[in-house]
Amino acid sequence: MSITEASPVEALSIQNLRIELASGRAARPVLAGVDLVVHKGETVGLVGESGSGKSVTSRAALGMLPDGAKVTGQVLVDGQDILAADKKQLRQIRSHQVAMIYQDPRSGVNPVRRVRQFLVEGLVASGTDKKTALARCASLLESVGIRDPATVLEQYPHQLSGGMLQRIMIAAALSSEPSLLLADEPTTALDVTTQAEVVSILDRRRADTNAAMLFVTHDLDLAAAICERIYVMYAGRVVEHQRTADLFAAPRHPYTRALLASTPRIEPGHAVEAVPGRALSLDESTPGCSFAPRCAHADELCTGGPPPLRQVGAADVACVRAEEMSVR
């Protein structure tokens, strides 16, 4: 059985998504045929270096696409076709079914609105009447571990720390009980001690509301802490996809192996090695595997067209030499 086989209606189903920027601006597509599925109630990671296409992929689930881009493929949220939706349908989907949490919580708030107004506006937009919304604010803050909601509700964003604001964003995002939550580097802007706290609150609230989550991060270990499966992206393609434990035990793609080796670990004998070279920019394209120029295992097999994603052992992997890469 394929590891993505499941319910007939997925929380998120992306099939063969290809996004090319408006003509002449890039040498390769931003996304070159991405397939990704998040089952209902499941947490899935999307991992890769900066510029690999993670944010473009997650924003596509909200119907937010780069201006003038040529887009083909399919994006379904709860079975609804996002790429075919009109503005009104998209508004409806964004206020009821899908919520996004961004890296910088300050970008999502109006600096001159108190926390109470921010929460009430969100609740009203998703169909709650104002009186009920006002009554729910305090319990929303309590649900994300804020101990003194009465005080915090009267505060302005600049009076709150990044971690506190991100908790408020999590509370707001889940207040409409969306079936899908998109979290794009939600803790990257926070300091390390706050990061773990915010991730655990996010994971707990997601479980409470039974939402599915696409968790976007450049940090494999962070994804491993809460994700059941992980997709690894490189230069606009998914290059590997496995259940989390399998990915760590037997990474098949040389890029995944390099990412794992570049993570500091408290293990005897573990030497940290940066991924060699640099990521392919949008102005560069390669005839074969896009990772080949950085790959220690590349040979002539790797230049004959981009390797398709195929099943090898427990993995979906896009590498012609994947069979040889079974042991870490």
Minimum Å gap between C-beta 183 and ligand ADP is: 12
| Closest to 75 (Cα-Cα) out of 59, 86, 88 | 59
Binding characters for ligand ADP, 184-223, by CB under 6 A (x = yes): ----------------------------------------
Minimum Å gap between C-beta 67 and ligand ADP is: 6
Query: Does 55 contact Mg ion by CB under 5 A?
Result: yes
Q: Among 282, 293, 301, 314, indicate the residue that binds ligand ADP (CB under 6 A).
A: 282
What's 308's DSSP letter? P
Minimum Å gap between C-beta 82 and ligand ADP is: 17
| Closest to 171 (Cα-Cα) out of 122, 128, 224 | 122
d(CA 40, CA 36): 13
The alpha-helical segments, DSSP class H, found in the chain are 54-60, 87-96, 115-125, 130-143, 149-153, 162-175, 192-209, 220-226, 244-249, 254-261
CA distance readout (Å), 51 to 21, 178, 193, 233, 281: 14, 28, 26, 10, 8
Minimum Å gap between C-beta 108 and ligand ADP is: 17
Query: Does 30 contact ligand ADP by CB under 6 A?
Result: yes
Minimum Å gap between C-beta 66 and ligand ADP is: 3
Binding characters for ligand ADP, 41-60, by CB under 6 A (x = yes): -------x-xxxxxxx----
Nearer to ligand ADP, 216 or 298 (CB): 216
CA distance readout (Å), 239 to 233, 251, 252, 253: 6, 11, 9, 7
Nearer to ligand ADP, 53 or 163 (CB): 53
Which residue do the tokens 């998120």 mark?
12
Q: Which residues contact 78 (CB under 8 A, 6 or more apart)?
A: 9, 10, 11, 97, 179, 180
Query: Does 105 contact ligand ADP by CB under 6 A?
Result: no
Q: What is the CA radius of gyration of the chain?
A: 21
Minimum Å gap between C-beta 110 and ligand ADP is: 23
> Residues 305, 34, 256, 308: is their CA dihedral positive or negative?
negative
| Binding partner of residue 66 among ligand ADP, Mg ion, none, CB cut-off 5 to 8 Å per kind | ligand ADP
| Binding partner of residue 187 among Mg ion, ligand ADP, none, CB cut-off 5 to 8 Å per kind | none
CA distance readout (Å), 182 to 15, 39, 53, 91, 98: 17, 13, 14, 16, 7
Q: Among 6, 21, 85, 261, indicate the residue that binds ligand ADP (CB under 6 A).
A: 21
Query: Does 217 contact Mg ion by CB under 5 A?
Result: no
Residues 317, 320, 326, 328, Cα dihedral to 10°: -90
Minimum Å gap between C-beta 49 and ligand ADP is: 7
| Binding partner of residue 122 among ligand ADP, Mg ion, none, CB cut-off 5 to 8 Å per kind | none
Binding characters for ligand ADP, 123-142, by CB under 6 A (x = yes): --------------------
The angle at the Cα of 304, spanning 281 to 54, to the nearest 5 degrees, equals: 35
| Binding partner of residue 56 among Mg ion, ligand ADP, none, CB cut-off 5 to 8 Å per kind | ligand ADP
Helix, strand, or coil here: 105? helix
Query: Does 66 contact ligand ADP by CB under 6 A?
Result: yes
Nearer to ligand ADP, 122 or 236 (CB): 236
* List of residues contacting ligand ADP (CB under 6 A): 21, 30, 48, 50-56, 66, 282
* List of residues contacting Mg ion (CB under 5 A): 55
